[in-house]
Structure 1
Amino acid sequence: MAGFDDITKKAQEFLNDDKVKDALNSEQAEDISDKVLDGVAGVANTVTGGKFEEQIEGARSAADEKIGNE
């Protein structure tokens, strides 16, 4: 699980960068990011057999809050 935590931490650091925030704060980014995040979460759940579904959804939600305008 340490690897998953490392990935989550790096993703959060990336998404907290001011330049990244500005680029990602748009309706277009929101639409694209929702599709990408849904796809990634679905693949992650499939690969892990749903074992980490709650953690994956938490990471997906945290990323979604940082991207786009919703």
Structure 2
Amino acid sequence: MSIVQKFMDLVGKHGDKAGPAIDKAGDMIDRKTGNKYKGQVDEAQRRAKEAAAEQARRRGQQPPTSR
């Protein structure tokens, strides 16, 4: 099972909690890389949140929240 599929399964079960988890993961990556890839990480976070929101809407759940 790919990481994307695992993410989508988790979002399907806990869509309302995905936003803070995405933020936290991105912040950890930024720390580990010394913000070298901050722009790419921010874009990945944005896209992950969009995917999480879409998945939550499909399942009739509350979309994830941001900070």
TM-score normalised over the length of structure 2: 0.60
Unaligned segments of structure 1, at least 5 residues: 1-9
Correspondence for 2:12: 23
Aligned Cα root-mean-square deviation (Å): 2.8
Q: How does 1:14-53 map onto structure 2 within 5 Å?
A: 14=5, 20=9, 23=12, 29=15, 31-53=16-38
TM-score normalised over the length of structure 1: 0.58
> Over residues 5-45 of structure 1, what are the superposed CA-to-partner deviations in whole Å (9 max), with x where a residue is unaligned?
xxxxx63xx38x7xx5x926xxx61x311110010000000
Identity percentage of aligned residues: 18
- Letter of the 1:63 partner, please give it: A
Q: Extract structure 1 runs of 4+ deviating beyond 6 A.
A: none
